[in-house]
Structures are given as structure tokens and as C-alpha cells.
Amino acid sequence: MAKPHRKPADNPVLIALLRLVFLGLLLLLWWLASENVSRNLIPSPLQTYDAFWRLIANGRLVAALGDSLQVFLSGYGLAILVAVPLGLIMGGFNLLGKTVEVFLYALAATPRVAFIPLIIVFLGLGVQAKLTVVFMGAVMPIVMNTYAGVQQVDRELVEMARSVGASRLRIYARIILPGSLPYLIAGLRIGATIGLINTVVAELYTSVKGLGGLLATYGNSFRMAEYFVVVLTLSLIGVVVTEILRHIEIRLARWKQGG
């Protein structure tokens, strides 16, 4: 039997090669920009590389990275614990979902920065305030995407399961949760991105620590090589989180097919 033809987009070796080529192109454009723009604005890749090892050697980057990851992962994890069950409940109880969704849409459309002064008043400038800012940024896209995913589940399958006496918990585990997975993962990705952005915002508005604190320090003093190191570190965190979620999505898809 002939093997099915693999599409280019499914070839991991080709994708890795193209990514390396694209990365090389970005580095070339970066180098050209640094040669044609003032070095005080755009450092060269080599200058940024040297600055990276300086920040590693003096421990500032590692310490800031640890502070930011603690805030980001704690706030993001709390958002997942609250948002996923809430989205599933809203989607499973249609009347509740229709009642609450308009208020969630209004809250989602409100810039989170508007709440920071209130958060500081009630929680101060410590870790609790930062966690709240990250939580508020990450929770809404996870709730809304989970809710939308549940709404897209095949209602005929749900009714069939009810007709044969399946419990609500079994229906959620076997039909609703697997059927809403693509939306849920999309919400987790968006929530992670917004949560990471809000981590930096929280560090800038509250106690100036973490990667956000380094951005403020190096940006204000025009130490652009160090500034670029911090920006690239944030980008790398985003890539790592996205790739982790992508692998989770692949494993869950296999579980869904097997279930």
C-alpha cells in the first residue's frame, strides 16, 4: 500500500530549515539597520550578544527573569484555574452563558491598564498587585474562547448521550471538553501572550523589578544593547510558552481521537 503523500507544511525538517533561513534573514536586516541607524538607537547583533553575556555574568538577567516568570506563571496559572471551569459552565448552562456574556465582553473590551491605579490602591505595589494585573489580562480570552468552544460542540451528540442516561460529568468529559479543545487552546495561547505583556506592564507600574524593571532602567539610560537583550528574552519566553501549548494541543488531539 502506497504511503500517503506528506504535505510540505507537515514536514518538520523542512519547517525547521525554513525557520533557520528566516532567522538568518532577520539577523541580516537587523545588522543592516544597525549600520545605517545611530548605534544609540539600534545596536548590532554582536553588541547585543556581548551585552547578553555581561548580564548573565553579573546575574541581573537571571534574577530579573526569575522574578518575571514567577509573576507570569502564577497569574497565568490562576487565570487557567478560574477561566476554564467558568467557560465550561457558561457553555453548558446556556441561560447562564447568555446572561453573563455581555458583561464579560464589556470587561474584555476595557483596557487592563485602567484598573492598575485601583489595584495599587487596594493591593499596594507588591506581588499581589502584579499577579492581579497578569490574571486580569489572561483570564478573559481563556473564558471567552472556552465558552465559544462549548457552544460549537455538536448538540446532537450531547442529546444522544443524555438519552442513554450519561451523567452530566461524563458528557463534559467525553463530549464537551474534547469538542471545545481547539478553542480552549487558542484561548490559552492568547491568554499567555496578554499575560506576558501584562507582566511587563505590572512591573513598570508597581515595584520596578523583573524584566520590566530592566526595560525601564536600560531604556531610560539609552543602553540599547542591554535593552534589546531584555526584549529578545521576552520574545523567547513567548515562543517557549507557545510551543509548549502547541505540543499539549497535539497530545490532547490524540487523546480526543483515541477517546
- The fold of 55-258 is MetI-like fold (1.10.3720)
**Residue 149 CB coordination number (10 Å):** 23
Point out the residues of the chain with pLDDT beneath 50: 1-2
138 vs 132: CA distance, rounded Å: 10
* Alpha helices (H) along 110-209: 116-123, 127-151, 155-163, 168-171, 177-205
* Alpha helices (H) along the chain: 12-36, 45-57, 60-92, 94-109, 116-123, 127-151, 155-163, 168-171, 177-205, 210-220, 224-258
pLDDT per residue as tens digits for the range 64-115: 899 889 999 999 999 999 999 999 888 878 888 888 888 888 888 877 777 7
160 vs 177: CA distance, rounded Å: 16
Per the CB < 8 A criterion, the answer to whether 101 and 90 are in contact is: yes
78 vs 82: CA distance, rounded Å: 6
Question: How high is the pLDDT of residue 2?
Answer: 47
Q: What is the pTM of this model?
A: 0.82
Question: How high is the pLDDT of residue 1?
Answer: 44
